[in-house]
Amino acid sequence: MEDYKFLFKVVLVGNAGVGKTCLVRRFTQGLFPPGQGATIGVDFMIKTVEVENEKVKLQIWDTAGQERFRSITQSYYRSAHALILVYDISCQPTFDCLPDWLREIEEYASNKVLRILVGNKIDREDREIPTHVGEDFAQRHGMYFLETSAKEAENVERLFMEIAAELMEQARSKELPRYETNTTSINGKTTSIGDTSNCGCSRLS
């Protein structure tokens, strides 16, 4: 048995070059890799963090932004607990593509997935997307929002730690009703099967 209480899958998506890999490496290895090459397919990293004295294992899937890897990366949406959608605050096109990414998420991810919008590279002088524009977008689409710099290690730790905390919260609040439905009272009449099964099913689905 490994030593952790919760395991969450976090998937990063967004246009090529917005800094997904750099964010992940900053968080998992504490460095900003020079000359980071484009990701091929998906990359996979693990980091165990501690939230409220509980060990939480984060399984981080860093997907390639280039179009030709789309069929590979899409297959990871379904089992994600959290999806981080990244754009580059100094590059308007990466922001303009966000609706396309949302459509993908809508199509492939579970509707319960935690969604976070991240504007990366705030260390850059040539900002094109003002903070409030990103914030508005996130709010309109029911997403959390954060601006980061993988280069200057700004908000990167916070990003992942807040995701871990939020997912843990969700997992805990789900645990209770799960056991309640288990003890659904059964009245012997056959006609009531439909009703009782509803309760049983909320547990299953």
Ligand X SMILES: Nc1nc2c(ncn2[C@@H]2O[C@H](COP(=O)(O)OP(=O)(O)OP(=O)(O)O)[C@@H](O)[C@H]2O)c(=O)[nH]1
Residues near ligand X, by CB under 6 A: 16-22, 36, 38-39, 64-66, 120-121, 123-124, 149-151
| CB of residue 204 to another protein, shortest distance in Å | 5
The H or E element spanning position 42 is strand 42-51
> Could you tell me the two tokens for 144?
């959390």
| CB of residue 141 to Mg ion, shortest distance in Å | 23
Return d(Cα 108, Cα 204) in angstroms, integer. 20
Which of 4, 17, 36, 42 touches another protein by CB under 8 A? 42
**Beta-carbon count within 10 A of 91 CB:** 20
Using CB distances below 5 to 8 A depending on partner kind, what does residue 22 bind out of another protein, Mg ion, ligand X, none? ligand X
Cα–Cα nearest to 149, from 169, 171, 125? 125
Contact between 68 and another protein by CB under 8 A: the answer reads: yes
Return d(Cα 93, Cα 105) in angstroms, integer. 19
Note the residues at the interface with another protein (CB under 8 A).
37, 40-44, 46, 59, 68-72, 75-76, 78-79, 107, 186, 188, 190, 193-194, 196-197, 200-201, 203-205
